[in-house]
Amino acid sequence: MDIVPACHPFQEPMPDTPSSSPLHLPTELAAFSDLATRRRTSLLMDRERPVPGELVTRLCRLATWAPNHKKTWPWRFAVLTGDSRARLGELTCEQLIDEGVTDETKLVKALGKYMRSPTVVMVAAAAHDNPDLHRENRDAVAAAVQTFLLGATAAGLASFWASGAPLRSSAVRELCGFDATDRIVALVYLGWPNGEVELPKRPEPVIHFIVD
Ligand SMILES: Cc1cc2nc3c(=O)[nH]c(=O)nc-3n(C[C@H](O)[C@H](O)[C@H](O)COP(=O)(O)O)c2cc1C
């Protein structure tokens, strides 16, 4: 596979970077690049086709291979299927009302929102007494979420990392079986794809190569 350097010999090109001189990437990196660039935030999924629990468990296990300073193992997962997704919608609606939202269209939308995928995975970060580790626990969980998404992509699943009102709801935390001090980092919609979303453009990263 010929890959073209964008601004440094070992930097991979952005997908739409014009080519000049080819760079031969190791096969494993080329395969990983393909996976990482293929992962898309997509809700184009079959609502009726279940995702096997064993597969979700496997993805959660994979996620725990994310880096974790001081090995605090901060990730917490909750897997919502069936009617629990409707309950998630109700609690999200209540959270929005508590926050002063009165727009009926918005509230009705929140009610049915989580039925759009057969599985919703909530990922939370445990608290820590040390303020630095408390912050880093969230960083580690964000890394775990990305590992989860990449695993999902490799498994042929569509996924969507969402945030918003459910992440701020103590009732949602309780529904998920999380501790009161856990912070919800991500709500991941998960399902089998039934369409493809457009590739969003990525601007060139700002990179400073400091040599002296
Ligand atoms: C912390 C975080 C929160 C996000 N929350 C939302 C969200 O609430 N709604 C949404 O449409 N996308 C959300 N996204 C997904 C981004 O919109 C998406 O990653 C971006 O549009 C780029 O598309 P891609 O993931 O397909 O490359 C979130 C992503 C992250 C990392």
Q: Strand pairing partners for 3? A: 23
Separation between Cα atoms, residue 53 and residue 3, nearest integer Å: 38
- What's the CA-to-centroid distance between 167 and ligand 1, angstroms? 14
Q: Strand pairing partners for 76? A: 124
> Residue 22: its pLDDT value, please?
64
> Residue 4: its pLDDT value, please?
40
> Residue 71: its pLDDT value, please?
98
Q: Whose CA is nearest to atom 16 of ligand 1?
A: 41
Q: Whose CA is nearest to atom 6 of ligand 1?
A: 162
- What's the CA-to-centroid distance between 162 and ligand 1, angstroms? 6
Segments of 6-131 assigned E as strands? 23-24, 45-46, 75-80, 119-125
pLDDT per residue over 159-192, tens digit each?
A: 999 999 999 999 999 999 999 999 999 999 999 9
- What's the CA-to-centroid distance between 179 and ligand 1, angstroms? 25
**Minimal CA–CA distance to 106: which of 96, 115, 116, 114?**
96
Backbone angles phi, psi at 136, to 5 degrees: -70, -25
Q: Which two tokens stand for residue 59?
A: 């993805």
Q: Which residues of 137-169 are buried (b: 16+ CB within 10 A; e: fewer)?
A: bbbbbbbbbebbbbbbbebebbbbbeeebbbbb
Q: Which two tokens stand for residue 49?
A: 């086709």
The list of the chain residues with pLDDT below 70 reads: 1-23
* Domains of the chain with bracketed CATH: 2-38 (no CATH), 45-193 (3.40.109.10)
> Residue 24: its pLDDT value, please?
75
Using N-to-C axis directions, what is the helix angle for 104-112 and 84-98, rounded to 10°? 150
**Minimal CA–CA distance to 119: which of 75, 78, 67?**
78
> Residue 25: its pLDDT value, please?
81
DSSP three-state, residue 80: strand
